[in-house]
Structure 1
Amino acid sequence: MTMILFTLTTFEAGQYVDFEKVVCITGDGNYSCIHLTDGQRLLVSKCLEQLEPRLPHRQFLRIHKRYLINLRFVESIFPKQIKLTDGKVYAVARRRWPSVNSYFKQKIRR
C-alpha cells in the first residue's frame, strides 16, 4: 500500500506522490520542486509553507527557508550543511543550525 503525500497539480497533470520517494523539496517563491528518488523532479505551484504542514513532521525537517529534507536520505552532516544520498549538499540556515545539529546529535546518542 502506498502512503500518498497528496495530489500534486504540476504543469502536466495531477499526480500522487509517495512520502518514501521524496528526497527533498526546494522552494522558490510560490513554486516548489519535489525531488524524487528516481531523479525525477516535479514542479508544483505551492510554496513550502503550504506543503510543510502536509508532511509527516518526524520524517521531514525544514533546514532553510528554501529546503525541506527527508531525514531518511541524509548521508552526512557538515557544519551548516547536509549531504543527501542523491549527492547534493544543502545549506542549513544559520538560525536553524543549532536545532538541526542538536537533533542529529540526539539521534547518534540513541
Structure 2
Amino acid sequence: MNKIKDQMMKRNTNPRVNPMALWLPLKKVHVGARCELSASNIVMIESDISYSHIHLRNGEKLTVAMNIQKLQERFAHVWGMVRVHRRYLVNLCYLKSVVDFEIRMENGLKATVSRRKFDELASMLCL
C-alpha cells in the first residue's frame, strides 16, 4: 500500500494539489441545490445556523441550505472529514498546522477546535 502511495505522490506534479487528497473517494456527494462535490475538492465546511459555507480547494465558497450535521452524515464514509467544532467540519488532507486549539488550513483558512474534540483530533494526528 505504501509503495502505491509513494508512486501516486511522485506522479502528482501539480503543487496546488495535496497528494493525500488523491486518496479520498472520487464518489460525489449531494450537498444540496442540484450540486454534487467530491471530498477531495472540499477544504472545510463552516456552519451558519441552517446554512453551510463550503470552502473549496480552488478558493471558491459555496453556500448551501443544509445544516452541518446533515453534511457530516453524508461525508461519514470519507476518511479525513472530521468535525472539530460545532461550527466546523474540516478535511485533514488540507491541514497545515494545529496551534492552541486553532487549525490552519493550506489555503489560509482558520478553524477553532473545541476543547472536547481536541484530544480526539490529537490522537488521530498522533500529536
- TM above 0.5: yes
Task: List 4+ stretches of structure 1 deviating above 6 A.
Answer: none
Amino acid at match of 1:79: D
Mapped partners of 2:31, 2:78: distance in 1 = 19
The answer on whether the counterparts of 2:31 and 2:71 sit within 8 Å (CA) in structure 1 is no
In the alignment, what sits opposite 2:83?
62
In terms of fraction of residues, the more strand-rich structure is: 1
In terms of fraction of residues, the more helix-rich structure is: 2
**Partner deviation per Cα, 1:13-43 (whole Å, 9 max, x = no partner):** x222121100010001100011101111111
* Structure-1-length-normalised TM-score: 0.84
| RMSD value, Cα | 1.7
The answer on whether the counterparts of 2:32 and 2:66 sit within 8 Å (CA) in structure 1 is no
In the alignment, what sits opposite 1:50?
70
User: Which of the pair has more CA radius of gyration?
Assistant: 2
* Structure-2-length-normalised TM-score: 0.74
Structure 2: stretches of 5+ with no match in the other structure: 1-25
**Identity value in percent:** 27
In the alignment, what sits opposite 1:6?
30
The answer on whether the counterparts of 1:25 and 1:33 sit within 8 Å (CA) in structure 2 is yes
Task: Say which is worse superposed, 36-45 or 52-61, in terms of deviation.
Answer: 52-61
Tell me the CA shift for residue 3 of structure 1: 2.2
Tell me the CA shift for residue 73 of structure 1: 0.4
